[in-house]
Structures are given as C-alpha cells and as structure tokens.
Chain A
C-alpha cells in the first residue's frame, strides 16, 4: 500500500464474533444467560469480550434479571439463551417486559437454518411464538445482516414506547463468515416514533388545566421510562395539583412530597382512588387506564375531562376517550406543558384549587392506610415493610413479586426516587422478585437492593440465589411468609364464602433458612415484631453474599383498601380497621 493510498481494510469475522462485537458497540456491559447447543458458537468469542456474563440457573431468571437491570438503570437489559426449551423458558419474561414496556434485548440460538422446519433437536418456532409478546423480532438468515439487526433491535427496544425485542440466530449463520461493518444509522421506514407533542394540543391542555377545579395528575410508568421525574415535579409544583402514582409509576414523584397521594387502583389508598373518582380533570401522563386503576370503566371518574399524554398513539382513546390526546415523549411534553401553563398563569394568574386540596387533605386524615401491630401479637406484614423502609437508605432499590406482599410494598414503601421500584405490573408474574432484584443489583452495585417476596413467589424462582451467591451479588430478600397463596386466599375468603381451594403452602416446608444456606446465602428467621429491626440491621451489614429473611407473618391479614374486581371505584372497601363503616 502506498503512503497516500487508502484501502478499506476488510475485517473477516464469524457471525458469532460479529454478534458479540455488535453488542459491545451497543455499550452492553452485562448480559444474563445460559449456553446450550444452538448458541454454542456465540459463547466462544464471549470469553474474549469485555461483556460480563452472568450464568443463570434457569432461562426465566435471565429474562427477569435483564428486566430488573433495565428498571434500575434505564438502559436495556440483555439476555442470551439457546434454542427450543431455553427460548420457551424466556417467553414469560418477554411477555412480562412487553406488558410493562421494559427495554429488553433477548438473543436466542436457533437450529441451523438449513434444517429449520424439520423438527430438529431443540427446534422451536421462536420468532413465531414470541411475535405477539415482543415489540419486534428478527430471524437472521445471513451473517452479513448481524450488525444491522443488532443495531435495529436496540433502537426498537429503547425508543418510542420501550419494549422487549428478540433476535433469533441459527447456528450455521453464527458459524458463517461475514465482513464486519457497523451501520451509521438505523433505516426502518415503518418505525418513526413521534417524540414531540403537538403544540396546539399542549396549549389546549394548559387551558383545561387552568379551568379545572378538581384536577389530579395521574402519573404512570412512562414518567420513569422517559426520565421525566424532575419535569413532573416541576409541573406539579407549578400547578399545585395533587399527583397519584400508579403501581408502575411509583417514585415518579417522591412519596415525601406533600402533593403526592400515592397509589390509586384496586388496592390504592382511599384518597388516591377517591380524588381521581371525584376529579374534573385527569392529567394523564404515561399511564394507560389499566383495569386495575379504573375499576369499572363506565363509572370511572365520571366528571373528569381527560388529558392523555403517551408516546404510543394506540393508548390514546383505547380505554377512555381523551379530550386532549397528545402523542409524544412524556418528559418532553411535560416540559412544554409547564411552559404553556406558565403562559396561562401570566395571562390570568394561577387558579385557586385550595378548596379541592382541603378536601383531599381531609380524606387523607380520615382514611389513612391502617393496620395494628399488637404487642406480642402475630407479626404483621405491613409492620415488616415499614421497618424495612425506615432502616434502609433513601435510594434503596426495592423489587417485589406479585400478590399481597406486592400491594403492601407499593402502599407502604416510601419511594423518594425514580427507578427504585422494580416490579411486575401488567402480567403479574409470580417469581419476579428474586431474579429482578439480582438484575437491579448488577446494574446498580452502588445501591442497596432489597426484595419483598411472598412465600409462594419465592418458591418459583429462588434457585437464582445460587446465581447471586456464586456471582457475589449481595441482594437481600425479605420473605413475608404467611404459608398461603395469600392474594388467592383473600379472594376466596371474600368472594368464595371462605371455601379455601388449594392455597395452603405450609410455613416451614420448605425450611427457608436451610434452603437459603444451601444456596450460599445467609438465612435468618423472624417470628415476632421485637426482632424485626435487629434482623434487618444484621442483614444490612452483610455485603458479600445474599441474605434471605423468613418473616413469619400473620396469615389472616388482608390487603385493604380494596375495590372488588369489576366494581366501581366508588364502592371501595376500607377494611376492618374502619369498623362496620369500612364496607
């Protein structure tokens, strides 16, 4: 080659090498996975890669870890597994991430392209199976396409309404040679998310906010996803409006903030539910009128006009007609909305909603969340959660499974920062907590990570604590062990005449302490209120391995308030703490 002449240097790689290199180009630092036949070629170049790989014990764990990682960091979580049964094992986490709009990239091995369709060993139609539960998926048929597809996959997963994507890579394609390149930009003509809200709509929204007498800001998971917590707080303080934070939106405004009313919905607190119900304007930001929030849709917030901001146009008008629909990135729209509200205030001064706020305050005083921990009485799950909150740092990340413990955690934990709540909302995946907490801790090793789990949930995915112990990921698990599938039991008690069908689990089978120890964790047990704080403190001091605490809680305890399924939010049941009038 001459001194002046330039020649393109062609780098020849295998498909597998190109895949790993592409992941590195996407700044992937960690991936969760488990190797197997069809993905073997890709696990070889992984040895030489800067990417940390965490070897899970079940592919479901890999998927939920990727999701927990994404919740805690705001970056996409990556999981890699083999074909067939591994791919089907990761279907649940994909569906979970799809329902909760979590950016997760899953790479699956596939049998050689030359034998696809022959019912080869460990062959499954992964792309077909995951089509309805991914934002998009790809079957790569040519090694030359790998960098382009990986680039597209990360782009689709992380932009617009985030969501899971899947890339299926046949073994012969992974082994085939290709010439390395990295695409400058993504070219997807059918995928152009609209980020910027329409200025006229924003102006209309600001005008409605100016006129409202009983407004409520309805803040959902979109705030967390868009990094809009600060913008939300500014808008809330500018308008003085009360804010409810949905299960997915917990932490989008600090619970300590005086305008934060906490969680609405089926197990929301009375004030959050009733404020929405009586409001004349719902400023809906990155939320989707989920049935768990609205109760019976026909009677939900009957007097409220709706401003609905969402990056996904299909959410606007899907459940409830929006008077002012705005398509756009919720953070960007909130920032514009704040400007428009300021302009309205400049014209006519800020509206006075003090009467409404007084009403809200009186509900808060009259109907707080209530439980009683009796001296020497059975340990109340709510007490454990409150003590845990008081004895952990403000920025502690909390994961949970699904059921009673999840509702108590969401009700009673004080979330004061975004991205500190890692949770399965839409799909309601039992067993989410342990792997999700591990993923969160991997993403944020600087933070303390606790999981509040149920005994039923824990038994579904506990084996991932072996992963955590061997990888030195010091998560802490608080099992609220009431020896029941508690939420199902609660429904049977309330709606099936106390006919308990297949809900009893036993408090000491398995022995959770021994099980924890067998998995390389520290195991502890607490069966009375006096030992709760000292045990939590002991757990907080352990930083070299996972900790599991078996809290033996009162099995009689039920989650209140409660709006029965399909009932109107007006028919909220407060619970026995409020006497006969609680009904």
Chain B
C-alpha cells in the first residue's frame, strides 16, 4: 500500500471548484490516490476527501497550495492511523449455477450484499475499509470479475478520550 495522507477539504459549493483543486494537483505534480466529493449539511459548502500520495509531494506544500485557492475554506488532515476510512465497492462476478453458492458464501463472510442477480452473474456491494475491499476482490477474482467500481474513500477522525485528534492544518492564509 502506498504511503498516503487523507485531507478533508471544505470548499465553497460553486461551479469549477473541483477543476481548481484537480488542476492544482496536476500543476504542482502532486498525485491523487482517490477523491470523493459530497455535499455537506450546509448547502453552501461541499466536502472533498482527497487521498494524497505522500511520496509525490511533501504534505505541507500540498496543504499550503490548496489553502491559496480562494474557494477552499478549511483543510483537515487525518493521519491514516488516526482516522476511520470507509469505501464502497460494487463488483459484478461471473457466477453460474455451480459457482453461485461459493460466491454467496463469500458475500456472507464479508457481510456484503447481493444487489443484483442475473442469469450467469451477480452484483455484490461491499463496504468497509479499503483493505477489506481489496481482499474481497482478490477472493472473487478466480470466478471472473465482469465489472468493478469503487467510490474512493471517505474518512473521519477516530474518536478518543483525548480532547481532539484532529490536526487543523489551516493556520495561515495567503
């Protein structure tokens, strides 16, 4: 697994913001591992969960450059060990009558869900941390994967008895 950092970025919910963020990453030579964008409880803002390849650039530069974008309101870093990461995967697996029971069994073990069944395939939805999704796709591979899609991860900081584990990295603006 590549060394990565997770940034939760609150941005103004305006056209072109995703393009500004994505453009900044490519221009400065930072690599995005995964990116998820969603509305927040406040319709003026959206939240981006960006997983950054930490080897492509020092995190500090990524954060400081992101901060310079006018529509970026707030950036929070969630260290992988200090966050809860979740991702959703849908995978269509070849499962003719003789293989179907084995696939169903795997689905049960992973507490996944069969969301569609066809004549010789079925589509399964798995949620969990990214490693778990990797494991499931490895295990169903021998049956034949027809299609696979993942959402990209979202993350929240782990809760603890300490006052806060969030490291607010937005200290100064330019």
Contact = CB atoms under 8 A, between A and B. Distances in A.
B67 A314 contact: yes
Instruction: Report which residue of B60, B61, B64 has the largest number of chain A beta carbons within 10 angstroms of its beta carbon.
Output: B64
A327 B172 contact: yes
Given A132-B27, A189-B73, A327-B174, A312 B68 contact: yes
Contacts of A135: 70
Contacts of A327: 172, 174
Contacts of B83: none
Contact of A190 (B19, B65, B73, B171): B73
A81 to B, nearest CB: 21
Q: Which 10 A-B pairs have the closest CB atoms?
A: A314-B64, A312-B174, A194-B172, A136-B70, A327-B172, A190-B73, A313-B172, A192-B173, A191-B70, A132-B27
Interface string B33-70: 00000000000000000000000000011001101111
B73 A193 contact: no
A132 B29 CA distance: 13
B1 to A, nearest CB: 27
Interface string A148-176: 00000000100011000000000000000
A161 B174 contact: yes
Contact of B173 (A127, A128, A191): A191
Nearest to A127: B16
A311 interface: yes
B152 to A, nearest CB: 23
12 contacts: A136-B69, A139-B16, A156-B70, A190-B72, A193-B173, A194-B172, A194-B173, A312-B68, A313-B172, A314-B65, A314-B67, A327-B172
Contacts of A188: 70
Main secondary structure of the interface of B (DSSP, over half): mixed
A427 interface: no
Given A160-B174, A189-B12, A194-B172, A314 B68 contact: yes
Contacts of A314: 61, 64-65, 67-68, 174
Contacts of A312: 68, 174
B20 interface: yes
B69 A190 contact: yes
A156 B20 CA distance: 16
A313 B64 contact: yes
Interface string A181-195: 000000011111110
Contacts of B144: none
Instruction: Report which residue of A131, A156, A190 has the largest number of chain B beta carbons within 10 angstroms of its beta carbon.
Output: A190
Instruction: Report which residue of B23, B24, B60, B173 has the largest number of chain A beta carbons within 10 angstroms of its beta carbon.
Output: B173
A318 interface: yes
B71 interface: yes
Given A190-B72, A193-B173, 10 more contacts: A132-B24, A135-B70, A139-B15, A190-B69, A311-B174, A313-B173, A314-B61, A314-B64, A317-B60, A318-B61
Interface in A110-149: 127-128, 131-132, 135-136, 139
Interface residues of A, number: 24
Interface residues of B, number: 24
Nearest to A160: B174
Nearest to B24: A132
Given A312-B68, A327-B174, A131 B19 contact: yes
Interface in A187-213: 188-194
B169 to A, nearest CB: 11
Interface string B7-27: 000011001100110011001
A317 B62 CA distance: 12
A76 B171 CA distance: 28
Contacts of B64: 313-314
A139 B14 CA distance: 11
Contacts of B173: 160, 191-194, 313
A194 B67 CA distance: 12
A311 B11 CA distance: 22
B95 to A, nearest CB: 43
B77 to A, nearest CB: 15
A547 to B, nearest CB: 42
A311 B73 CA distance: 18
Nearest to B66: A314
B16 A190 contact: no
Contacts of B73: 189-190
Contacts of B69: 136, 190
A497 to B, nearest CB: 33
Interface in B65-87: 65, 67-73
A135 B71 CA distance: 11
A311 B70 CA distance: 15
A202 B61 CA distance: 23
A82 B8 CA distance: 39
A190 B20 contact: no
A318 B15 CA distance: 30
Contacts of A317: 60-61
Contact of B70 (A128, A161, A190): A190
B19 A194 contact: no
A318 B71 CA distance: 22
A188 B15 CA distance: 16
A256 to B, nearest CB: 34
Contacts of A192: 173
Contacts of B171: 313
A251 to B, nearest CB: 24
Interface in A394-408: none
B111 to A, nearest CB: 40
Contacts of B172: 194, 313, 327
A132 B16 CA distance: 12
A14 B30 CA distance: 44
